[in-house]
Amino acid sequence: MPQRVLVTGGSGFIAGHCILQLLEQGYLVRTTVRSLNREAAVRAVLADAGASIVDNLTFVPADLTKDDGWAEAVEGCDFVLHVASPVHPGHVENEDDVIVPAREGTLRVLRAARDAGVKRVVLTSAFHAVGFGHPHSDHVFTEDDWTVLDGPGVDAYGKSKTLAERAAWSFVADEGNGLELTTILPVAVMGPAMGNEVSGSNGIVQRMLAGKLPAYPNVYIPIVDVRDVATAHVAAMTAPGAAGQRILVASDRPAVAMKQIGATLKAHFGEAAGKVPTRTMPDLIVRIAARFNPEFRPIAADLQFVKKISNEKARQRLGLNPRDPEQAITAAGESLIAKSLI
């Protein structure tokens, strides 16, 4: 009998790629959507992306902010991939609008999983819970690091990911009753778009291609391909060495300068990348802008800082062999152009 996996937030970017890989590997997949009115659209997106054995996919309505539906969602499941979480990078007026649903939604899913006898939950955290708010140095970030919540440049999204993950580990330690937990912490996620929604760091590529970024700030972005992130989630369900572990998911290359992302797009897409900028924004301008515009503060905090990140645990525990960032960038660009999303 095939094992059953619940994937939360089936309409999402990472969740969609997880569902694709789970179906390919013969799992029975159940996914949550806030309303069953979304089922047909999600099925269409997955079919367009090449989903196989779609009869093995079912949908249940459940919302992270409500208890309703979660017991039914996890019933009979061997594993849960809890991918769904509010995504609001940058400044928000009320941080609790992001933090509370992320933390409380995570605990809601964990309680339901524990009560249903689920073996292991794989939680999508983020590098935002590891590598922000720290002083600039040659330090190599590992799973032992946690974001400094009151450090410079930490936005509501970073706080939400950090607090939700800490709450998850505390719950499993205090109330888990044997429930296993693994957290996956990807860096900036790019790759083939799912449907007509631009998610993750594909938004950076979209803005460049659309000419909405006049110049590049001197920032460096660690990039991982969404297909590798999905592979890590699926592997983490059953890998013996993954239980009880935080696992960073990153490529082998160091963080990529924004201007290099632009250069990659220009090199691969020619005329379609005609609006991609070539100029660099002076650091002083970014710092002045950050004094008046909260959107610039995380950028200003990390100017010229190339973050070094270890992916050793993902390689050892999950057998992950990540793609080069150029593949993620070009796959994102290709899909956005093909779907006329620029």
Residue type at 88 in one-letter notation? H
The residues pairing with 247 across neighbouring beta strands, listed in sequence order, are: 184
Mean pLDDT of the chain: 94
Q: Are 340 and 254 in contact (CB under 8 A)?
A: no
pLDDT at site 94: 84
CATH number for the domain harbouring residue 317: 3.40.50.720
Tokens of 186: 């990807």
pLDDT tier at 98, thresholds 50, 70, 90: confident
pLDDT for res 95: 87
Helix 202-209 and helix 325-338, axial crossing angle in degrees, nearest 10: 60
Can you name the residues that pair with 6 across neighbouring β-strands?
A: 30, 80
pLDDT in tens, 70-85: 999 999 999 999 999 7
The total number of residues shown for the chain amounts to 342
Query: Residue 270 in 3-state DSSP?
Result: helix
For residue range 251-285, list pLDDT tens digits in order: 998 899 999 999 999 999 999 999 999 999 999 99
Please tell me which residue, 53 or 97, carries the higher pLDDT value: 97
The pLDDT > 70 percentage for the chain reads 98
Please give the residue range of the domain that contains residue 178: 4-338
Residues with a known catalytic role: 161
Report the pLDDT averaged over residues 106-132. Answer: 97
pLDDT at 85: 79
Residue type, 150: D
**CB–CB of 143/313 below 8 Å?**
yes
Task: Report whether pLDDT(89) > 60.
Answer: no
For the chain, what is the domain count? Answer: 1
CB 247 within 8 A of CB 184: yes
On whether the pTM is more than 0.85, the answer is yes
pLDDT in tens, 297-327: 888 989 999 999 999 999 999 999 999 999 9
Q: Each residue of 192-246: pLDDT tens digit? A: 999 888 987 999 999 999 999 999 999 999 999 999 999 999 999 999 999 999 9
For residues 152 and 149, what is the distance between their CA atoms, to the nearest angstrom?
8
What is the DSSP secondary-structure string of 40-73? HHHHHHHHHTT---GGGEEEEE--TT-STTHHHH
DSSP state of 36: G
Q: What is the residue type of 145?
A: D
